[in-house]
C-alpha cells in the first residue's frame, strides 16, 4: 500500500536525496548544474508550494511538488490549472505504482479544488515518466513548450479535468 501525505520537516532530507538521485542519477540534470540546488532545497519548496511524499512500508519512496499559478514554483500554470513538478521515485520503487499514485494524487487534488486542468513540463528523454503521464490522459500542448535555459527544451503536457 502506498500512502500519500504532506512532507514534514523531518522528511526534507530524504526528499532532497530522492529528488537529486532521480534527476542527477537519472541523467536528466548535471550534478554541477545550479538546478541541482533547487532540487535539493526541499524546505524552500515546502514554503512556497506543496510537497507531497509517497510512503511504502514506512519508507519515503517518492515525492512531488504541487504549485498554484503565479507562485514561485509554477512555471507554466495558468489560472484554473494546478502544476506539478519534481516528480521523483526511488530507484528501488520504480515500476511499483508510486509514480502513478503521485500523479493521481495531483489529479485528485486539482479536481477537489475545482481546477479545470493539471499541467506539467517534462524532458523528452524522461520516457518512464512520460508513460505514466500518457496513461493518465496528459496530452502535449506544443505551443506552450519552453526553454528554461539554453539546451533544455521542455514539453508541456496538460490533463483537462472538465
110 part of a folded domain: yes
pLDDT the model gives residue 94: 87
Three-state secondary structure of 56-78: ECCEEEEEEEEECCCCCCCCCCC
150 part of a folded domain: no
128 pairs with which residues across the strands? none
Please report, for the domain that includes residue 70, its CATH number.
Answer: 3.40.630.30
Q: How many domains does the chain have?
A: 1
| Cα(78)–Cα(100) distance, integer angstroms | 24
pLDDT the model gives residue 145: 97
pLDDT the model gives residue 12: 98
pLDDT in tens, the chain (162 residues): 999 999 999 999 999 999 999 999 888 998 888 899 999 999 999 999 999 999 999 999 999 999 999 999 999 999 999 999 999 999 999 889 999 999 999 999 999 999 999 999 999 889 989 999 999 999 999 999 999 988 889 999 999 997
pLDDT the model gives residue 46: 97
pLDDT the model gives residue 65: 98
141 part of a folded domain: no
| Cα(130)–Cα(155) distance, integer angstroms | 10
- What SS3 class is residue 48? helix
- Host domain of residue 114: 2-118
pLDDT the model gives residue 86: 97
23, 123, 150, 155 from 117: Cα distances, Å: 25, 20, 28, 16
Amino acid at each position: 500500500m502506498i500512502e500519500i501525505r504532506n512532507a514534514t520537516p523531518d522528511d526534507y532530507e530524504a526528499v532532497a536525496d530522492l529528488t537529486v538521485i532521480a534527476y542527477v542519477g537519472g541523467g536528466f540534470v548535471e550534478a554541477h548544474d545550479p538546478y541541482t540546488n533547487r532540487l535539493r532545497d526541499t524546505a524552500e519548496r515546502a514554503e512556497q508550494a506543496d510537497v507531497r511524499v509517497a510512503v511504502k512500508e514506512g519508507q519515503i519512496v517518492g515525492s512531488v511538488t504541487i504549485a498554484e499559478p503565479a507562485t514561485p514554483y509554477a512555471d507554466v500554470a495558468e489560472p484554473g490549472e494546478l502544476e506539478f513538478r519534481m516528480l521523483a521515485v526511488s530507484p528501488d520503487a520504480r515500476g511499483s505504482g508510486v509514480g502513478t499514485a503521485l500523479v493521481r494524487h495531483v489529479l485528485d487534488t486539482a479536481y477537489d479544488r475545482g481546477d479545470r486542468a493539471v499541467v506539467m513540463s517534462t524532458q523528452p528523454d524522461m520516457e518512464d515518466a512520460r508513460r505514466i503521464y500518457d496513461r493518465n490522459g496528459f496530452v502535449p500542448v506544443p505551443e506552450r513548450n519552453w526553454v528554461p535555459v539554453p539546451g533544455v527544451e521542455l514539453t508541456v503536457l496538460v490533463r483537462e479535468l472538465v
